[in-house]
Amino acid sequence: MSFGRRVQIKTDEEVEILRESSLLVGKTLAVVAERIRPGVTTLQLDAVAEEFIRDHGAEPGFKGYGGFPNSLCTSVNEAVVHGIPNDRPLVDGDIVSVDCGVLKNGFYGDSAYTFAVGAISPEVQKLLDVTKECLMLAIEQAVVGKRIGDIGYACQTHAEQHGYGVVRELVGHGLGRALHEAPEVPNYGRRGNGPRLMDGMVLAIEPMINLGRKEIFHEEDGWTIVTKDRLVSAHFEHDVVVRKDQADVLSSFIEIEEVIKKN
């Protein structure tokens, strides 16, 4: 996957279009969240998401991207990311990472949330909590004057403190008129290393954290990434604008978490 070379700085007008796209992804994930329960299939979730995206004047950002067949990436349990929706019903105790992209007014939104299906073990709930904490700690580093390595360092340190594996082969990215732009945003790194963060850079930050070891492999479907030790993996993603003192988070989990609380 090519991320391009040139880091683009977005104007304030472009940032507001990106915000609209990113917020639409959050609303789509909230609609998906309402449907998540034992017995539902990820293909059913995908259909709900696609309809919702099109009803809101946007295109699914992933469908057809590099040949990907669906609107959502749905990655269950040991699947890390890029899972293809299928007709296997979710069962009590599963977790499912739902990654969604939209294209609206020429700009992409890209956000992901990992959901519990029914009741999950405390051990797996802890992984979800810590992965989301990794995302928030990473976002704290997305400010003017820091470097890409500071984002990765914050994420990696927190995950490894809990004994989790940080996936190396897949990374966050710049976001704009393309779904994947420069720079790459690894979830591991060294402080003070890598490209300098500048005002107006838009980044999709997306920790992929494994309960066990960090190693992964590609499933035979050519898409799904799975942990080598077959232990579960979690994934959360926000779109943010690098700003002075504090990043501006464009996407939102608020509506998703209102649904989760209700269910």
Helix, strand or coil for residue 153?
Answer: helix
Supply the minimum distance, in Å, between the C-beta of residue 99 and Mg ion: 4
Strands 172-174 and 202-205: what pairing? antiparallel
> How far is it, in rounded angstroms, from Cα 156 to Cα 147?
15
- Which of 237, 246, 241 is closest to 203 using CA atoms? 241
Supply the minimum distance, in Å, between the C-beta of residue 112 and Mg ion: 5
Q: Is 138 in the site for Mg ion (CB under 5 A)?
A: no
Contact with Mg ion (CB under 5 A) among 50, 99, 133, 239: 99
How many residues of this chain bind Mg ion (CB under 5 A)? Answer: 5
Span of 6-14, 102-110, 140-148, 192-200 interacting with Mg ion by CB under 5 A? 102-110
DSSP H helices in 56-200: 122-140, 148-161
Span of 35-43, 109-117, 120-128, 239-247 interacting with Mg ion by CB under 5 A? 109-117
Q: Is 110 in the site for Mg ion (CB under 5 A)?
A: yes
Span of 4-12, 18-26, 104-112, 117-125 interacting with Mg ion by CB under 5 A? 104-112
Label residue 189 left, alpha or beta by phi (over 0 means left) and psi (-120 to 50 means alpha): left
Strands 208-210 and 248-249: what pairing? unpaired
Q: Is 241 in the site for Mg ion (CB under 5 A)?
A: no
Contact with Mg ion (CB under 5 A) among 112, 155, 203, 209: 112
Partner residues linked to 166 by β-bridges: 209
Nearer to Mg ion, 181 or 261 (CB): 181
- With the C-alpha atoms ordered 241, 247, 249, 253, is the resulting torsion angle positive or negative? positive
Q: Is 130 in the site for Mg ion (CB under 5 A)?
A: no
Nearer to Mg ion, 89 or 136 (CB): 136
Q: Which residue ranges make up the site for Mg ion (CB under 5 A)?
A: 99, 110, 112, 204, 237
